[in-house]
A and B are shown apart, each in its own frame.
Chain A
Amino acid sequence: MMLSGWGRYPRADCRVLAPRGEAGLRAVLAQETSLIARGNGRSYGDPALNPRATLTLRQTDRLLGFDPATGMLEAEAGVLLPDIIETFLPRGWFVPVTPGTKFVTLGGMIAADVHGKNHHCAGSFGDHVESLELMLADGRLLRCSPTENRELFDATRGGMGLTGVIRSVRIRMLKVESAWIRQETLKTRNLAQTMDGFEASRGWTYSVAWIDCLAVGKKLGRALLYRGEHARPEELATDKRAQPFAVPPRRPKTVPFDFPGFALNRWSVTAFNALYYAMGRSGTAIVDYDSYFYPLDAMQDWNRIYGRGGFVQYQCVLPKAASREGLVDMLGRVARAGNGSFLSVLKLLGPGRGMLSFPLEGYTLALDFPATPQTFALLRELDAIVAAHGGRVYLAKDARTDAAALRKGYDGLDAFEAARREADPFRKFSSLQSERLGL
Chain B
Amino acid sequence: MSSVLILGAASDMARAIARAYAKQGRPVILAARDPGRLEADVADLGVRGGSARAVAFDVLDTAGHGAFLDSLGELPGTIICVVGFMGDQTASERGLAAAELVMRTNYIGPAAVMAEAANRMAVRGSGVLVGISSVAGERGRARNYVYGSAKAGFTAFLSGLRQRLAQAGSPVRVITVLPGFVRTSAIAGMATPAPLTAEPREVADAILKAERGGNETIYVRPIWRLVMAIIRALPEPLFKKMKL
Q: Hey, which bits of chain A sit against chain B, CB under 8 A?
A: 1-2, 15-21, 56, 59, 62-66, 76, 87
CB-based contact B48/A87 at 8 Å: yes
Whether, in the assembled complex, B24 has its beta carbon less than 8 Å from a beta carbon of chain A, the answer is no
22 A–B pairs (Cβ distance < 8 Å), ordered by A: A1-B191, A16-B188, A16-B189, A17-B189, A18-B185, A18-B186, A18-B188, A18-B189, A21-B37, A62-B15, A62-B40, A62-B43, A62-B44, A63-B43, A63-B48, A64-B44, A65-B43, A65-B47, A66-B47, A76-B40, A87-B47, A87-B48
Whether A64 contacts B185 in the complex (CB less than 8 A), given A1-B191, A2-B191, A87-B48, comes out as: no
Find A63's partner among B37, B44, B184 (CB 8 Å cutoff).
B44
Chain B residue at smallest Cβ distance from A76: B40
**Cβ-based interface call for B242 (8 A):** no
- A65–B40 Cα distance when bound, in Å, is 9
Q: Which residues of A contact B12 (CB under 8 A)?
A: 59
Which residue of the partner chain B has the closest CB to A56? B188
Q: Mask for B13-55, Cβ within 8 A of A = 1, else 0?
A: 0010000000000000000000001001101100111000000
Given A59-B12, A59-B184, A76-B40, A64:B189 Cβ within 8 A = no
Please, how many residues of chain B have a CB less than 8 angstroms from a CB on the other chain? 17
The chain B residue with its CB closest to the CB of A3 is B191
Whether B47 contacts A17 by the Cβ 8 Å rule is: no
Annotate B183-226 by CB proximity to A: 1 below 8 A, 0 otherwise. Answer: 01110111100000000000000000000000000000000000
Which residues of chain B come closer than 8 Å to A18, judged between CB atoms? Answer: 185-186, 188-189
Contact, CB under 8 Å: A20 / B47: no
Interface residues of B (CB under 8 A from A): 12, 15, 37, 40-41, 43-44, 47-49, 184-186, 188-191
What is the CB-to-nearest-CB distance from A55 to chain B, in angstroms, rounded to a whole number? 9
CB <8 Å contact, A17 and B43? no
Across the interface, do A63 and B47 meet the contact criterion of CB distance under 8 Å?
Answer: yes
Inter-chain contacts of A17 with B (CB < 8 A): 188-189
Known: A20-B185, A56-B185, A59-B12. A64 touches B40 (CB 8 A): yes
Contact partners of A21 in chain B: CB under 8 A: 37
| Distance in Å: Cβ of A32 to nearest Cβ of chain B | 13
Task: From A1, A59, A62, A76, give the contact of B190 (CB < 8 A).
Answer: A1
Which residue in B15, B47, B188, B190 is a CB contact (below 8 Å) of A64?
Answer: B47
Q: Is the interface of B mostly helix, strand, loop or mixed?
A: helix
Q: Assess the A1–B37 pair: CB atoms within 8 A.
A: no
* Contact indicator B189/A15 (Cβ below 8 Å): yes
19 more A-B contacts (CB under 8 A) besides A1-B190, A65-B47? A15-B189, A16-B188, A17-B189, A18-B185, A18-B186, A18-B188, A20-B185, A21-B37, A59-B184, A62-B40, A62-B41, A62-B43, A62-B44, A63-B43, A64-B44, A65-B43, A66-B47, A76-B40, A87-B49
Q: How far is the CB of A361 from chain B (nearest CB, A)?
A: 37
- How many angstroms between the C-alpha atoms of A1 and B49 in the bound complex? 37
A76 to B188, CA, bound (A): 18
Q: How far is the CA of A15 from the CA of B188 in the complex (A)?
A: 10
Please indicate which of the listed interface residues A15, A20, A21, A65 has the most CB atoms of chain B within 10 Å of its own CB: A20
**Complex: chain B residue closest to A19, CB-CB:** B185
CA distance A304 to B54 in the complex (A): 44
Q: Which of A2, A19, A64 contacts B43 (CB 8 A)?
A: A64
Which one of B43, B47, B184 has the highest number of Cβ atoms from chain A below 10 Å of its Cβ? B47
- Return B108 CB to nearest CB of chain A, in Å: 25
The interface residues of chain A lying within 8 Å CB-to-CB of B49 are 87
Please name all residues of chain A whose beta carbon is closer than 8 Å to the beta carbon of B186 when the two chains form the complex: 18
The residue in chain B whose Cβ has the minimal distance to the Cβ of A13 is B191
Q: What's the Cα separation between A15 and B41 when bound, in Å?
A: 28
Question: In whole angstroms, how far apart are the Cα atoms of A196 and B16 in the complex?
Answer: 49
Count chain A CB atoms within 10 A of each CB in B49, B184, B185 and give the residue with the most. Answer: B185
6 tightest CB-CB pairs across the interface, nearest first?
A18-B188, A18-B185, A62-B44, A63-B47, A1-B191, A16-B189
How near does chain B come to A71, taking the closest CB pair, in angstroms? 13
A23 to B145, CA, bound (A): 31
- For B191, the chain A residues whose CB sits under 8 A away are 1-2
Bound-complex Cα distance A316 to B6 (A): 50
Assembled-state Cα–Cα distance A226/B191 (Å)? 41
Shortest CB-to-CB span from B25 to chain A, Å, is 14
Which residues from A are CB-within-8-Å of B41?
Answer: 62
A16 to B43, CA, bound (A): 29
Closest-CB distance, A36 to chain B (whole angstroms): 14
Q: Which partner residue on chain A sits nearest B185 by CB separation?
A: A18
Taking the nearest CB of chain A, how far is it from the CB of B42, in angstroms? 10
C-alpha gap A425/B12 in the complex (Å): 34
Interface centre among A21, A56, A63, A87 (most CB of B within 10 A): A63
**Smallest Cβ-Cβ distance to A63: which chain B residue:** B47
Report the Cα distance A20→B14, complex, angstroms.
14
CA distance A1 to B193 in the complex (A): 12
Residues of chain B within 8 A (CB-CB) of A65 are 43, 47
Q: Give the Cβ gap from A407 to chain B, nearest Cβ, in Å.
A: 35
Q: Which residues of B contact A19 (CB under 8 A)?
A: 185
**A1-B183 Cα distance, complex, nearest whole Å:** 14
